[in-house]
């Protein structure tokens, strides 16, 4: 049998990986759910490779004030605000001394299978940063300007009214955005937003078009994870899609 050898050269693209997850549990069986065993293997691999987790606030502060980031930095993101982000993700990350960022659909808070306001408040005092993912998870580029503003502004207000720290970071539902959306994010005080485009991020990357590496469930296990990191690195290295300002 053959063997896959993945070799990361010393001329790796320097920058920050942003990983995109949704659910981590051992009950759901779909593309968007990774088992706890798989997730732990991925975290162990990142740690073995010398990666340290940072938050979006760490990234923003480093860019603005010159604060130092770890040599190999990664941001772990989780979209939608599922309950397992509290029951599984938070303790697993804490066990590795890691942090993560969860993007919340505010009108789903408290629904079955989703996080509650109480859980969200506790997460923010632990190792989890929170961000916005709109009120209703609608593809923003398809909406009229007033509706875009409602989705961005009201979801942010609702989170802050419910006792969460100021929300500065955003994830586009279905990766859908346009110039109107970006303008509106700036107006409403968001500092960064993540897309669905693979790649590695530097301080030259447009903060409202940060690139993410999507991590679905895979039969290939850890090999698929490594290949996806490689793909993101190649997207940046060969200039396939660099969301530069």
Question: pLDDT tens across 80-96, in order?
Answer: 999 999 999 999 999 99
pLDDT band at 242 (very low <50, low <70, confident <90, very high): low
Least Cα distance to 131 among 46, 50, 20, 17 occurs for 20
CA nearest neighbour of 156 among 140, 133, 173: 133
In 22-135, the DSSP E strands lie at 23-24, 33-34, 52-53, 73-80, 100-104, 128-132
Query: Phi, psi (5° rounding) for residue 22?
Result: -125, -80
pLDDT bracket for residue 137 (50, 70, 90):
very high
Percent of the chain with pLDDT over 70: 92
pLDDT tens digit sequence for 159-206: 999 999 999 999 999 999 999 999 999 999 999 999 999 999 999 999
Q: Once rounded to an integer, what is the mean pLDDT over residues 93-104?
A: 98
> Does 11 score more than 70 pLDDT?
no
Query: pLDDT band at 138, cuts 50/70/90?
Result: very high
Q: Which of 1-5, 73-77, 160-164 has the lowest mean pLDDT?
A: 1-5
Check pLDDT > 90 for residue 231.
yes
The CA distance from 101 to 70, in Å, is: 17
pLDDT band at residue 244 under the 50/70/90 scheme? low
Contacts of 161 by beta carbon, 8 Å cutoff, 6+ apart: none
Q: Quick one: CA torsion of 26, 32, 37, 40, rounded to 10 degrees?
A: -130
pLDDT of residue 187: 97
Q: Above 50 in pLDDT, residue 226?
A: yes
pLDDT at residue 239, rounded to an integer = 74
If you average pLDDT over every residue of the chain, what do you get?
A: 93
CA 203-205-70 angle, to 5 degrees, is: 40
pLDDT band at 238, cuts 50/70/90? Answer: confident
**Could you tell me the pLDDT band of residue 245, with boundaries at 50, 70 and 90?**
low
């Amino acid at each position: 049998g053959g063997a896959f050898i993945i070799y990361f050269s010393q001329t790796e693209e320097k920058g920050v990986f942003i990983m995109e997850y949704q659910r981590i549990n051992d009950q759901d069986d779909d593309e968007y759910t990774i088992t706890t065993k798989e997730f732990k293997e991925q975290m162990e691999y990142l740690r073995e490779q010398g990666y340290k987790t940072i938050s979006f606030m760490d990234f923003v502060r480093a860019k603005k004030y010159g604060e130092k980031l770890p040599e190999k930095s990664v941001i772990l993101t989780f979209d939608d605000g599922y309950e397992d982000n509290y029951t599984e993700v938070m303790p697993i990350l804490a066990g590795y001394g890691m942090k993560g960022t969860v993007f919340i659909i505010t009108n789903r808070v408290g629904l079955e299978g989703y996080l509650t306001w109480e859980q969200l408040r506790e997460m923010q005092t632990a190792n989890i940063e929170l961000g916005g993912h709109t009120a209703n998870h609608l593809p923003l580029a398809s909406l009229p300007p007033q509706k875009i503003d409602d989705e961005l502004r009201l979801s942010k207000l609702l989170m802050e009214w419910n006792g969460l720290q100021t929300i500065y970071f955003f994830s586009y539902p279905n990766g859908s955005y346009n110039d109107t959306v970006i303008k509106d994010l700036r107006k409403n005080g968001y500092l960064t937003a993540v897309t669905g485009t693979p790649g590695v991020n530097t301080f030259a990357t447009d903060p409202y078009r940060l690139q993410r590496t999507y991590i679905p469930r895979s039969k290939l296990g850890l090999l698929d994870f490594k290949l996806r990191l490689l793909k993101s690195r190649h997207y940046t290295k060969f200039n396939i899609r660099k969301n530069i300002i």
